[in-house]
Amino acid sequence: MSEYVIEMLNITKKFPGIIANDDITLQLKKGEIHALLGENGAGKSTLMSVLFGLYQPEAGEIKKDGEIVKINDPNDANRLNIGMVHQHFKLVEIFSVLDNIILGVEQTKNGFLQKKDARRKVMELSEKYGLQVDPDALIEDIGVGMQQRVEILKMLFRDNDILIFDEPTAVLTPQEIDELMQIMRNFAREGKSILFITHKLNEIMAVADRVTVLRKGKCIGTLDVADTDVDQLAEMMVGRKVNFSVDKAPSKPGEPALTVRNLMVGDKRHTKKKVNNVSFCVHKGEIVGIAGIDGNGQSELVYALTGLTKPESGVVYIGEHDITHNSIRERNDLGLSHIPEDRHKYGLVLDYTLAENLILKNYYTEEFQRHGFLRFDEMYRYSEELIRRFDIRSGQGSATVTRSMSGGNQQKAIVARELSLQPEVLIAVQPTRGLDVGAIEYIHKQIVAARDDRKAVLLVSLELDEVMSLSDRILVMYEGEIVAEVQGSSATAHELGLYMSGANRQAPMEVEA
Amino acid sequence: MRNRRNHTGLINGTASLISIALGLIFGFLLLLVFNASFAVSGFNNLMTTGFASSEKLAKVFYQSAPLLMTGLSVAFAFKTGLFNIGATGQYTLGAFFALMGVVQFRLPWWMGLILGMVGGALLGLIPGVCKALFNVNEVITSIMFNWIALFAVNLSINNMPLMLANAWGAINKDRTAALTSSKFMAYNPNATIPKAGLDKLLGSNYMNIGVFIAILVAVIIWIVMNRTTFGYELKACGYNRHASNYAGINAKRNIILSMTISGALAGIGGGLYYLSGTAQYTLVKSLLGMGFNGIPVALLASSNPIGTIFSALFVSYIQVGGDALQPEYSREIIDIIIAAIIYLSAFSLLMRGWIAKRLLRNQKDNTNMGDEAPAEPANEAESGVKAQ
Amino acid sequence: MKKVLSILLALVLVMGLYTFAAAEGTYEIALVTDVGNIDDHSFNQSTWEGVKAFAEDKGISYNYYRPSEDSDEARVESMKSAIDKGAKTIVCPGYLFATSAATIATQYPDVNILLIDTAPTSDKPLTNVYSILYQEEQSGYFAGYAAVKDGYTKLGFLGGMAVPAVVRYGYGFVQGADAAAVEMGLTDVTMKYWYCDSFAPSDDIKIKMDGWYTEGTEVVFACGGGIYLSAIAAATAANGKVIGVDVDQALDSDLIITSAMKNLKNSVVLALTKLYDNGGTWGDLGGTTATLGAADDCTGLPTAKDSWRFKTFTVDEYTAIFNKVKSGEIVVSNNIDTAPTVTAVTVDYQN
């Protein structure tokens, strides 16, 4: 019997023009929590896809309990008792929890579903590991935390003993993260083996036994967590020393730039408001961060502020102007910039060139248009300037189709465009989502620079670290309401976590200005 | 800096040519299957008839004018992210408006064309409005309006005695007035599109300046799409409605405008065909094929307005060549062969993806990408699929 | 790139085959269809049958061409194609050829044109065109006479468009029914009479026919292109009967009791025979229009056993009345300007 339950030996997987996995070896011991660390694009997803039979590697082999196995599709992986909780849950929204768990392995008798045994098994598992779920609730009605538990139960129900967690903490509160860690430790004690994919160093230090670091498709090394520290891991991941803290001077808030009063946004399906009576103010020269777990009304708040949806009631001001009923274009012209949370859906026209995307918000101004005709020379001049200033890298410069650019450079292009509009107010939503450390540092610097340039910045992020390191003030959103306001310098993750989970809230605040 | 654009053009062009070649090979195989002893001479006819005589060339031009317009209509809508399958209805209404102009109101041909444009635009407007305001899929609305247009036009013509052929000396009234009959010429001598001596030059009554009008419109559309802020907005909406909305572009307005313009183009096509003097609108109860043929014309051209000129000429050329397969091949077989060639040719879209991948691979193998790798490979594969 | 190369190679091969270009066929007698096909159960088909019968009998090459669209220009184009392919005689079935046949006749004086069912639209006489018209009123007469004789008393006439040929059929039908009623001493024979303004079947026609059959109409003479399909659809539901037109339509439906025919096939054979007997030119016939009827055996009802579906009316009775018309003893009026006067039948002209 081999020491390892799963071994991926010398795996090489090539895509046109890129080696996604270059001679990577990953060995998972029975009963250990093994972290897989790497930035976006390091090759983690490709490696897992190989393990699940979605890709066939050009070289290398996979062993289960010391025996060479051939995995041609996810069904093979399932037969080898390998299960995975995906970063984006694979659940049928309109099915119940129980139906989702048994989906694909249903027991039938004469063509009819037999759910009784399944229900008993689910309840047993749920109790044994402390995974509380309501088996009859519909997925669309339960929170992300519980949805994740459903995904975990799906693996357990299939008797998987190799469990892969892909970025499982991204959607959880600090308290929920602690719970998840505890559950993972329980699994390991039971003899299950866990592969934990993440880019968060603290979590690895907290829970993992060993860690394998990938960088640009190469395996940098496998270490015992006990023998290493955060700085060493970060350096292995990025390839250089990393400075996590953001250098910034204390803010000097000026007059109000963005004022929101009693804003309400409804929900098509529920009577409960998505944004419930929200009031706050962002001043010139300050960064206000909004913390909260995904789905607590942050997106809807931003849509209402930027004009993508209409609020039910409430007032929004930019400076002195009431913009509640203005069009998106009018808001832009009044100095509102918006880095959207989904750069592919909102931020870019992916089939346009970089130059065309960089003028997406001001193509109609005199600078780029004459008698209805676009001024291409001006467009290219402007684009070259932004590429230089914001260090946007791409294959063919201004003429690159943005679809072919890397995520980091796509995001840089959006940041460049929005900041170059010389906005009064910048609303930045998840500005660094999916980016590598280098790009994150750069964008954070740009946001702080905008603040120091007397812009008002509203930062909405699901990354608590990001909110805490950038914000001068932090507002916490829970179920559509602002439940707390804390000073950025004095906030702790624990305190914010309590607000984010609804366990604690401040007395209703008076709105200033 | 702009070589990327040329690159795309090269890929599209090659893709179209390869598709055409594939279509022709398939057509040749069909010729062999249906009547092997005449396959070679038949293929020869198919390929050369269009240029064999000035008369046939005139027919190529004659048929290509309306094809170009319906192709342009579909291509324009495609570029803006809409599928105008209602070109045939818009074409029909355009034809009716144009004929009504020259017959009922005794207007000159160019006024008829403008009326045709208005007719097509009106019918394009409706699916546009439904899509923009009520989010009703334009495919469904425009298909239904094809039939509504057809029957409304038939009903109207039936109740306009002056429009029918028998008002102008013919015995039948299952079709509209013959615009070149002596009786009609006395009534409105300016009803047909001028021939500008081209009919004498090429020795065919088919010839008029219609094809040049269509080419001019195609060039105008190209300029609008590629050189103006309006085109920039329309394409942005087509590629990504959410992003356009986010950027402050009025996506709803653009959807409506886009469908309206698309309809107007098809309407001009109807006018060009039925004001040629050779064709008479017959009151039949089936949709006109000209509108649907616009779809492969647009696909073959990868929705490029300039490309549409060539693909319309090609489709028309093949149709004229196909006619010359008679009598060894019956008309039905010819229709099958031509349809197979045209539709295989329209596979250029698939072919384009294939060539692009090939080129990209070669390029990446030759030059290292320099900066970071593009996104996650897994995602890239996914988006590649979407892009096609 | 390899695939691209191989495709190009294949293309070059195909091009190479041109050098072996096989001889193209030539066809001496050509039929150009109006817009439809040679299996339309109507004009194109029976004309084609005539061309085929004659040409195969004499061992002459023949073929047919179908225009690319429904326009005079396209018909001209098809006729030119036929001439390019060696046609010395072109047969043109249908009134749609009136203008285009004249155009070709002027342009190609050496080509013989046989024009069926219409005369050319031309100011000058065209010596290379021979036109054939029919005495449709006689066929209609026979159909009306036979129906009443067979015991039907509630008749209907469903005309297509009111073009002269259809009107002649209809008025002949009225005259025949009237003659039979007089002969039998009946006074309760009624006829509904309507033009649907179309040669294509439609729901509107079917609805109208449904009404007729419901009101008691027993048999409808469906006269024009494909509209008989609508009449049959209505008749099937109401258990009524239909009379066909132009050609023997007995095979199309069991409900068709007879067909008012004009013998296109026969007349094409007759005309082509005259042409070839005369050394390949029309001679005296050139520029003339023949109106064929019972005298030339070109109008009548089908008497084949399978097509004869009368209950009591016999072939002998039919032959008797046919001979009377053939000999000129009975003259059926071909006046299409005023409705025929009737003495025994009540005709309800509907709009």
Q: Do residue B255 and residue B311 come from a single domain?
A: yes
Given this model, what pLDDT does residue B371 score? Answer: 37
Q: Do residue B110 and residue B4 come from a single domain?
A: no
Q: Do residue B264 and residue B336 come from a single domain?
A: no
Of A20, A40, A340, the CB nearest to B246: A340
Of B44, B174, B278, the CB nearest to C21: B44
Cα-based distances in Å from B302 to A90, A135, B223, B347, B353: 36, 51, 16, 10, 11
Given this model, what pLDDT does residue C39 score? Answer: 82
Contacts of B295 (CB under 8 A, 6+ apart): B71, B74, B85, B87, B346
The DSSP bridge pattern shows strands A313-318 and A256-265 to be: antiparallel
Domain end residue (candidates: B275, B299, B324): B324
Split into its structural domains, chain B has a count of 2
> Using the beta-carbon criterion (under 8 Å), do A46 and B376 form an inter-chain contact?
yes
Instruction: Give yes or no for a cis peptide into B327 (omega within 30° of 0).
Output: yes
Indicate the average pLDDT of chain C. 87
For residue C241, being part of any structural domain is answered with yes
Q: Do residue B82 and residue B221 come from a single domain?
A: yes
The DSSP bridge pattern shows strands A275-283 and A256-265 to be: antiparallel
Q: What does the pLDDT look like over C132-150, one tens digit per residue?
A: 999 999 999 999 999 999 9
Q: What is the DSSP string of B249-302?
A: --HHHHHHHHHHHHHHHHHHHHHHHHTSSS---B--SS--HHHHHHHHHHHHTT
β-partners of residue C244 are C259
Q: Considering just the CA atoms, what is the radius of gyration of chain A in Å? A: 25
Q: Do residue B106 and residue B229 come from a single domain?
A: yes
For residue B334, being part of any structural domain is answered with yes
Confidence of residue B6 (pLDDT cuts 50, 70, 90): low
Q: Do residue C325 and residue C251 come from a single domain?
A: yes
For residue C289, being part of any structural domain is answered with yes
- Judge B/C contact: 3 or more CB pairs < 8 A: yes
For residue B203, being part of any structural domain is answered with yes
Residue A127 predicted with pLDDT over 70: yes
Helices and strands counted in chain A (H then E): 16, 24
Residue B253: name the closest of A329, A374, A418 by CA. A329
Given this model, what pLDDT does residue A404 score? Answer: 81
Given this model, what pLDDT does residue B351 score? Answer: 76
C71, C84, C163, best to mutate vs chain B, most B CBs in 10 Å: C71
Q: Do residue C72 and residue C41 come from a single domain?
A: yes
3-class secondary-structure state, position B41: helix
Would you call C26 an interface residue with chain B, using a CB distance cutoff of 8 Å? no
Q: How far is B358 from chain A (nearest CA, A)?
A: 9
Q: Do residue C341 and residue C208 come from a single domain?
A: yes
Contacts of A20 in chain B (CB under 8 A): 377
For residue B5, being part of any structural domain is answered with yes
Split into its structural domains, chain C has a count of 2
Give the least confident one: A223-232, B86-95, B370-379, C314-323: B370-379
Q: Do residue C343 and residue C242 come from a single domain?
A: yes
Confidence of residue A429 (pLDDT cuts 50, 70, 90): very high
Q: Do residue B109 and residue B240 come from a single domain?
A: yes
d(CA B319, CA A29): 69
Q: Do residue B7 and residue B120 come from a single domain?
A: no
The backbone torsions φ and ψ at residue C193, rounded to the nearest 5 degrees and listed phi first, read -135, 120
Cβ(C270)–Cβ(C134) below 8 Å: no
For residue C285, being part of any structural domain is answered with yes
Q: Token digits for C131?
A: 């036109």
Of B2, B361, B387, the CB nearest to A399: B2
Cβ(B279)–Cβ(B95) below 8 Å: no
Q: What does the pLDDT look like over B151-209, one tens digit per residue?
A: 999 999 988 888 888 888 777 777 888 888 888 889 999 899 998 888 888 888 888 99
User: Scanning every residue of chain B, which has its alpha carbon at the shortest distance from the alpha carbon of C103?
Assistant: B205
Subunits with at least 3 CB pairs below 8 A relative to chain B? Answer: A, C
The backbone torsions φ and ψ at residue B92, rounded to the nearest 5 degrees and listed phi first, read -65, -45
d(CA B277, CA B176): 11
Residue A398: name the closest of A341, A356, A359, A456 by CA. A356
Cβ(A477)–Cβ(A292) below 8 Å: yes
CATH number of residue C34's parent domain: 3.40.50.2300
Residue C19 predicted with pLDDT over 60: no
> Using the beta-carbon criterion (under 8 Å), do B28 and C14 form an inter-chain contact?
yes
For residue C247, being part of any structural domain is answered with yes
Q: Do residue B341 and residue B256 come from a single domain?
A: no
Look at the block and give the residue holding tokens 């009316």.
Answer: C313
Q: How far is B243 from chain A (nearest CA, A)?
A: 4
> ipTM score of the complex?
0.78
Cβ(B86)–Cβ(B263) below 8 Å: yes
- Phi-psi region at C216: left, alpha or beta (left = phi > 0; alpha = psi -120 to 50): left
For residue C131, being part of any structural domain is answered with no
Q: Do residue C204 and residue C289 come from a single domain?
A: no
Given this model, what pLDDT does residue A306 score? Answer: 92
Q: Do residue C322 and residue C248 come from a single domain?
A: yes
Residue B134: HSE in the Cβ half-sphere, 13 Å Cα cutoff: 10
d(CA B44, CA B325): 9
Of B18, B158, B323, the CB nearest to C4: B18
More confident residue, C1 or B118: B118
3-class secondary-structure state, position A266: coil
For residue B75, being part of any structural domain is answered with yes
A390, exposed or middle or buried, with CB in 10 Å at 0-12, 13-18, 19+?
Answer: buried
Given this model, what pLDDT does residue B87 score? Answer: 94
More confident residue, A111 or B316: B316
- Domain hosting C54: range is 29-126+265-295
Helix (H) / strand (E) element for C157: namely strand C154-159
CATH number of residue B280's parent domain: 1.10.3470
Sheet with A313-318, side-by-side order of all strands:
A275-283, A256-265, A313-318, A321-322
- Domain hosting B21: range is 1-35+329-363
Q: What does the pLDDT look like over A169-217, one tens digit per residue?
A: 877 777 888 888 999 999 999 889 999 988 788 888 889 999 999 988 8
Cβ(C112)–Cβ(C54) below 8 Å: no
Q: How far is B385 from chain A (nearest CA, A)?
A: 13
For residue B43, being part of any structural domain is answered with no
Q: Do residue B225 and residue B338 come from a single domain?
A: no
Given this model, what pLDDT does residue C6 score? Answer: 66
B182, B326, B350, best to mutate vs chain C, most C CBs in 10 Å: B326
Q: Considering just the CA atoms, what is the radius of gyration of chain C in Å? A: 23
Q: What does the pLDDT look like over C53-69, one tens digit per residue?
A: 999 998 999 999 999 88
Q: Token digits for B32?
A: 């062999």
Of A351, A394, A399, the CB nearest to B3: A399
Per cent of chain C over pLDDT 70 is 93
Q: Do residue C196 and residue C220 come from a single domain?
A: yes
For residue C2, being part of any structural domain is answered with no
Q: Do residue B236 and residue B125 come from a single domain?
A: yes
Q: Do residue C117 and residue C151 come from a single domain?
A: no
User: Scanning every residue of chain B, which has its alpha carbon at the shortest distance from the alpha carbon of A307?
Assistant: B246
Compute the average pLDDT of residues B74-94: 93
For residue B314, being part of any structural domain is answered with yes
For residue B296, being part of any structural domain is answered with yes
Q: Do residue C324 and residue C235 come from a single domain?
A: yes
A1, exposed or middle or buried, with CB in 10 Å at 0-12, 13-18, 19+?
Answer: exposed
Confidence of residue A285 (pLDDT cuts 50, 70, 90): very high
Q: What does the pLDDT look like over B206-241, one tens digit per residue?
A: 889 999 999 999 999 999 999 999 999 999 998 998
Given this model, what pLDDT does residue A442 score? Answer: 84
Q: What does the pLDDT look like over C64-93, one tens digit per residue?
A: 999 988 888 889 999 998 998 889 999 999
> Using the beta-carbon criterion (under 8 Å), do A374 and B228 form an inter-chain contact?
yes
β-partners of residue A172 are none
Q: Which amino acid is at A207?
A: V
d(CA B146, CA B289): 12
Count of Cβ atoms closer than 10 Å to residue C53 Cβ: 15
For residue B154, being part of any structural domain is answered with yes
3-class secondary-structure state, position C253: coil
Q: Do residue B3 and residue B73 come from a single domain?
A: no
Given this model, what pLDDT does residue A339 score? Answer: 93
Q: How far is C193 from chain B (nearest CA, A)?
A: 19
Q: Do residue C177 and residue C84 come from a single domain?
A: no
Q: Do residue B198 and residue B347 come from a single domain?
A: no
Domains assigned to chain A: 4-238 (3.40.50.300), 249-335+423-513 (3.40.50.300), 348-422 (no CATH)
β-partners of residue A287 are A457
Q: How far is B35 from chain C (nearest CA, A)?
A: 13
Q: How far is C63 from chain B (nearest CA, A)?
A: 6
Q: What does the pLDDT look like over B320-343, one tens digit per residue?
A: 888 888 888 888 888 888 888 877
Q: Do residue C174 and residue C273 come from a single domain?
A: no
Q: Do residue C50 and residue C155 come from a single domain?
A: no
Cα-based distances in Å from C252 to C173, C245, C249, C300: 21, 12, 5, 18
For residue C120, being part of any structural domain is answered with yes
Confidence of residue C13 (pLDDT cuts 50, 70, 90): low
3-class secondary-structure state, position A483: strand
Confidence of residue B350 (pLDDT cuts 50, 70, 90): confident
For residue C132, being part of any structural domain is answered with no
Helices and strands counted in chain C (H then E): 10, 13
